[in-house]
C-alpha cells in the first residue's frame, strides 16, 4: 500500500468542502485530476472513502476514520515545509559563534549589530574564550564559526581557517600619565624596568609577550597578572602598569594611550575557522558574509589591516 501526501491533501479538501469541483478549484487542479487521485487513494487503501448519492458527497466509515489522521499529516507536512523555509529564508535559526575576548570587545559587536538588523529572527550565541578553547569547541561541534588568532603552526587538519586581518600589538598605558617612551615608537627593551599587567596563563598574548621580552633580553616585571582582557585594560587604566595588547581593543578606551612598537613590531593574524568540508547552516553562512563585508568596508581601527582577497 502506497499513500502519497498529495492524495491525502486532496482527500482532506474534498472532506472539508463535500464537493469535488469546489475542492479542485481550491487546490488549483482540474476536477478529473482530483477524482483520479482520490480513486487511486481508495484503491491503495482497499476501501471507498466517500459515498456519492445524487450529487451529495459524504464520508464513509473508513473516510471518517482517516480524516483526522490525514488532517494531522497534512498539517505536519505544511509545518515542516514552513520551518525549513523559515531557516532557508533566515527568518528563524541560530548561530553559534566563538571569538577571543579582544575580538568580542572590538570587531564582533559591530558585526552582530548589522546581522541582527538584517535577520532579527535568528538567535545568536557567542562563546568567548582563548583560541585553543575555541578550536576545541569547533572540533566538538559546539560552534559553527570561530574568530581565532591564527597559530603559526596552523590549525587542526579537521578545520579550515581563512585569514582575515593583520593586527599590531601596542603598548597600552594610562592616558593622563607619563608616556612609556619619549619617542613616537617604543623599543620593547625600554619596558625592562616598567611594571606590566599580564594576562592569565593560556592567553595567546601572554605567551607572545613573554617570548618577545625574552628575545629582547629581559624578563618582564609584573605589577599584576592573571586577568582577562577587560580586567587587564581596567588595571592599566588604574595606573598599575602597562600592557601589550591588540590595537583593536583600544578603539573605545579614551583613558588609555596606545604606543606603537618600533620596527619590526609585533603583529598577529586573525582568522575565521570552521570544520573542514562541513556545510554551514544558512544562518551561520549569512553571518560569515556579514563579517567579510564588514572587513571589506575598511571600517577598521588603527593598527589593523585586511589580509584576505
For the chain, which domains are there? 5-88 (1.10.10.10), 94-165+268-306 (3.40.190.10), 166-267 (3.40.190.10)
Per-residue model confidence (pLDDT) at position 90 = 64
What does the pLDDT read at residue 201?
85
Which pLDDT does position 151 carry in this prediction?
83
104 burial (CB, 10 Å; 0-12 / 13-18 / 19+) is buried
Query: How much is the pTM?
Result: 0.69
The per-residue DSSP string of 199-244 comes to: EPTT-HHHHHHHHHHHHTT-PPEEEEEEE-HHHHHHHHHTTS-BEE
pLDDT tens, residue by residue, 187-204: 999 999 999 999 988 788
Whole-number pLDDT of residue 203? 82
| pLDDT given at position 173 | 96
* Residue 94 host element (H or E): strand 94-99
The string of pLDDT tens digits covering residues 85-122 is 666 666 778 889 999 988 888 889 999 999 999 888 88
How much is the pLDDT for 94? Answer: 86
Residue 141 and residue 275 in contact, taking contact as beta carbons nearer than 8 Å: yes
30-39: Cβ within 8 A, 24+ apart: 34/10, 37/6, 37/7, 37/10, 38/7, 38/10, 38/11, 38/14
pLDDT of residue 3: 82
* Alpha-helix runs per DSSP H in the chain: 5-17, 20-27, 31-45, 61-88, 101-104, 107-118, 131-139, 204-215, 229-237, 282-296
Instruction: Tell me which residues of the chain have a pLDDT lower than 50.
Output: 309
| pLDDT score, position 86 | 61
pLDDT of residue 302: 61
Q: Do residues 50 and 59 make contact, with C-beta atoms less than 8 angstroms apart?
A: yes
Is residue 290 within 8 A of residue 164, CB to CB? The reply is no
What is the phi-psi region of residue 75: left when phi exceeds 0, alpha when psi lies from -120 to 50, beta otherwise?
alpha
Amino acid at each position: 500500500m502506497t499513500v502519497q501526501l498529495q492524495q491525502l491533501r486532496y482527500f482532506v479538501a474534498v472532506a472539508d468542502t463535500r464537493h469535488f469541483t469546489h475542492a479542485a478549484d481550491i487546490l488549483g487542479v482540474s476536477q478529473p485530476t482530483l477524482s483520479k487521485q482520490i480513486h487511486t487513494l481508495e484503491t491503495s487503501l482497499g476501501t471507498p472513502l466517500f459515498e456519492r448519492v445524487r450529487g451529495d458527497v459524504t464520508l464513509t466509515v473508513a473516510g471518517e476514520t482517516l480524516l483526522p489522521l490525514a488532517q494531522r499529516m497534512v498539517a505536519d507536512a505544511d509545518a515542516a515545509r514552513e520551518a525549513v523555509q523559515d531557516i532557508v529564508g533566515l527568518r528563524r535559526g541560530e548561530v553559534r559563534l566563538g571569538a577571543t575576548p579582544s575580538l568580542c570587545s572590538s570587531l564582533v559587536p559591530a558585526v552582530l549589530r548589522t546581522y541582527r538588523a538584517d535577520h532579527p529572527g535568528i538567535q545568536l550565541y557567542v562563546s568567548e574564550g582563548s583560541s585553543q578553547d575555541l578550536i576545541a569547541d569547533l572540533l566538538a561541534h559546539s560552534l559553527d564559526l570561530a574568530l581565532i588568532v591564527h597559530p603559526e603552526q596552523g590549525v587542526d587538519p579537521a578545520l579550515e581557517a581563512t585569514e582575515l586581518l593583520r593586527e599590531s600589538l601596542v603598548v597600552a598605558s594610562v592616558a593622563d600619565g607619563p608616556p612609556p617612551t619619549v619617542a613616537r615608537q617604543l623599543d620593547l627593551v625600554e619596558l625592562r624596568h616598567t611594571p606590566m599587567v599580564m594576562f592569565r596563563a593560556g592567553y595567546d598574548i601572554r605567551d607572545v609577550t613573554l617570548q618577545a621580552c625574552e628575545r629582547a633580553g629581559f624578563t618582564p616585571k609584573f605589577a599584576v597578572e592573571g586577568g582577562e582582557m577587560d580586567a587587564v585594560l581596567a588595571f592599566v587604566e588604574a595606573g598599575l602598569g602597562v600592557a601589550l595588547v591588540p590595537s583593536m581593543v583600544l578603539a573605545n578606551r579614551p583613558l588609555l594611550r596606545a604606543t606603537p612598537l618600533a620596527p619590526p613590531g609585533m603583529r598577529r593574524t586573525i582568522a575565521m575557522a570552521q570544520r573542514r568540508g562541513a556545510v554551514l547552516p544558512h544562518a551561520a553562512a549569512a553571518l560569515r558574509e556579514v563579517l567579510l563585508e564588514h572587513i571589506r568596508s575598511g571600517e577598521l581601527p588603527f593598527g589593523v589591516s585586511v589580509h584576505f582577497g
